[in-house]
Each structure stands twice: as structure tokens, then as C-alpha cells.
Structure 1
């Protein structure tokens, strides 16, 4: 699955920079940093622009802003199961990547966010929420990204809007027809009325006792596959002829 790259919502001046030589101009660093802050505030996401900023940091390490890097990585987490986080992480300077001696705050932040990404990639959602709640530093890391937790829940269930026709296939939507309520509660880190509100109103699922029924879609609907092969008569004739040939 590709990244959430809202190119249609990208400001014109950002588009102009990305399409021109100014994307390599160190003076555009501040503009990109402000754009990252905007993404955090209005819940949009532009991976292409964020990668361009990380590339500028590579060439101009003295302009690096730790808070911006953290926000880029957190925003990339919300695009799972795409490879955005790995792409962003691999553009970081080596001195920011663990394990290294005399680790800085940014190095520790990268390490903790990498742990969260690994849990998401392995679909270990219960442990993801437990880890997120286990350290106050995680709360600080995601503080600037509005709606982070809700966005993760939408990615797990495969919901980007309430419209089933425009929903984004997620882990549950793509692989399940039903799931135990208690398990899904752990996966979404929601209980009681909040769980029921999200599952029915946002995800569009149905609750039947301790079972949650997943809406049918092209990914979880079982359909028979019919495989047909076209074999020509002359292929059989060659096989039969060789069976009666005398060995030399």
C-alpha cells in the first residue's frame, strides 16, 4: 500500500519548490519545517515534501531541527502499513540512529518510534498501545500530531472516512470477516461506549454479542478462483508420438 500523499491539498508554493531547483536550496528549509507543523495541526500528510526536507538536512546538517524530524517520523507512523517510516528513517544522518554511544534526545526518540513502527508492522497492536502508554516520553513525542491515536485506529480498521466506498483497506478489512470483541478492544485500545461508538459509527462494523462483524469488501470476501489452461491438440500428439519412439 502506498503512502498518504495528499498532493491535491499541497499548497501551491510547496508544489513550486518541489518541482523546481529550489527543493535543493537550504533557504527553503524553514518553509518545509513550517509545512510539517501545518500537517501536524490539520491532520494532512505529505510524504514527498517531508522526504525532501530530510534530504536537505542530509546536505545541511547545521540546519537540522530535532522537533521537526520527530514530527515527520510520527506522521509517517500514521501511514502504516506503507514503507514511509522506513524511508524517512533511512534519510536520517547516521549519528542520529541507534545504537550509538552518548545517545542524544533525538537518538532516543528515533529508537522509541522505531519500536512503535516495528509493533505496527508486525500487527502487534495490543503491545503497541501498551508500549505507547508505558512511557511519558511517547506522549511528548506524539503531542504535536493532532489525532494521532484516532488515526492509528482508522488505519487498523481500514477507515479513512465514514463512506465505505472510499475507505482505505486496512489490516482488519483486508483479512477478516469477524473478530472477537475483546480482541478488537485490545487492538483499538478502546472500551465500552467509546469502543461501540467507533466500531459502529466510524468503522461501520456490527456488534453481535462478543463478536464484531466486519463489512464485506473486495479483500475479505471469499470468491472461488477458476483456473483454465489452453492446451492445443498438437501438444498431445507430440507426447504420444514420443512415447512410441524406439530408443536409439
Structure 2
């Protein structure tokens, strides 16, 4: 997945809107909505543009589209462990985020709450539970249906987290992380992740994140910084 956070590949007309006053113009809502659909279809991602659209929805709730909101949240899931999902949620109405007791939740509120649950599982590295939850309800399949390559992208992100935190992992545990088995698992581990399989253990090459190194912190503190405190310690009380 490519990211437009650096604005190098963002379409020019989107860049012009984001850099000008038109980003607050309700008439640009349809342009941003089409752009979200483009991101879903072509496996790209532009958090800045998506946040701008959610901000427009805040000011113009009558223009909001449930499908677009859920697609933005699903796309934000695919870039964990970043904080994009939380940023998007901060621009949503509170009633969509928290279940209201004794009240029938709207379809959008239910969708947002389910996606929030998935995000919590990813953030807490409960990857096997994430896949189990994703497969537990047909509503999840409907929510991610528009986002091309969702599952493969999530697997790649999980592999990235694993790559930065482990040196070795058992096959059984990693199969649960990736929701893959047999040949599909072997292919992903060797060709996509670039790791080696030795029996029931997957070995992850040393990198700057998973290599344990002692860290020595040196602080330079000058004596005169404490002169005032030392002087007060010898002062006679009034």
C-alpha cells in the first residue's frame, strides 16, 4: 500500500483543495467521497484527505454518507499501529462511538463500534482474536468488502510488528497471528516476510528494532545549576 502522507503522489486537484479554502467548502464533499472510493479500489491511502472529509461531515452532517465513513475507518485499520483510526474517531459524533443503554443503535453506530473493537484487538496485539472476531459475523465481511486487499494488508502490518519485536516465533503462534496455514503460510513467511522456517520455528533476521542493545544515557549537569538550592539548604530559617 502506498501512502500519501508526504503528498508526493496525491492527485493534484486533491492537493489544491487541501491547501486552499475549498477544503471547507461543502461542495468538495463529493470529490473527497470519490477519492475515498478510489483509495479503497486501488489500495492507496491518504489520511490527511480522509480527515478533511470527516471534518466536512462535522460541519455538514446532512452530507455524511455511512458507507464512506466506514470505508475511511477500515482504511485506517490497515495502517496500524499508527494512530490514524483514533484520529478519525475523534471527528465522529459521540453517539456513534459509545453504545447507548436501552436504545437501538443505528446501523452506522453498530458498524463504528465493531470496527473500534477490531482496532482495539490490533492495538493490543491480540491478532488471533482479531481474525476470529472478523470471521464471527457476516457484518464484518460487509464492512471490509469495498476495501481491496484488506486481509493481505493487515497480515503485512502484523508481520511488521512481529519483525520489530521478535527474533524467533513458533509456527503455531505465527499461524494464529496471520490466519494462514500450510502452503499459504510458508509462501507468506518466505516470500513476503523474508523469514526462514526451521522445523516448527520461524527465525526473523536481526534488525535495528529486534536487536537488544544496552543503552547508556549520559547527562551533563553543571554544578552552578544547583547553587541556588545548595545555598538555601544552609540558610537559617526566619
**Normalised TM-score (structure 2):** 0.88
Shift of 1:215: 1.7
- Whether the 8 Å contact between 2:127 and 2:178 is mirrored in structure 1 is yes
- Whether the 8 Å contact between 2:4 and 2:10 is mirrored in structure 1 is no
Distance 1:199 1:6 in 2: 30
Q: Which residue of 2 aligns with 1:30?
A: 30
Q: Does 1:137 align with 2:134?
A: no
Q: Which residue of 2 aligns with 1:164?
A: none
Distance 1:200 1:34 in 2: 37
Output aligned runs, 1:141-156, within 5 Å: 141-156=143-158
Q: Given the superposition, is the C-alpha separation of residues 208 and 23 from structure 1 closer, same or farther in structure 2, using an over 3 Å criterion?
A: same
Output aligned runs, 1:1-248, within 5 Å: 5=5, 7-100=7-100, 101-158=103-160, 171-227=161-217
Q: Which runs of 5+ in 2 are unaligned?
A: 225-238
Distance 2:143 2:39 in 1: 15
* Residue-pair matches, total: 220
Distance 2:16 2:137 in 1: 41
Other structure's SS at 2:186 match = helix
Distance 1:156 1:17 in 2: 34
- Whether the 8 Å contact between 2:121 and 2:129 is mirrored in structure 1 is yes
CA RMSD, Structure 1 to Structure 2 (Å): 1.8
- Whether the 8 Å contact between 2:96 and 2:113 is mirrored in structure 1 is no
Q: Given the superposition, is the C-alpha separation of residues 230 and 137 from structure 1 closer, same or farther in structure 2, using an over 3 Å criterion?
A: closer
Other structure's SS at 1:32 match = helix
- Whether the 8 Å contact between 1:36 and 1:71 is mirrored in structure 2 is yes
Other structure's SS at 2:44 match = coil
Other structure's SS at 1:85 match = helix
Shift of 1:223: 2.5
Distance 1:57 1:49 in 2: 13
Shift of 1:174: 1.5
Q: Which residue of 2 aligns with 1:239?
A: none
Other structure's SS at 1:212 match = strand
**Normalised TM-score (structure 1):** 0.84
- 1:32-90 per-residue CA deviation (whole Å, 9 max, x = no partner) reads 00000000011110000000000000000000000000000000001111111111011
- Whether the 8 Å contact between 1:4 and 1:79 is mirrored in structure 2 is no
Other structure's SS at 1:8 match = coil
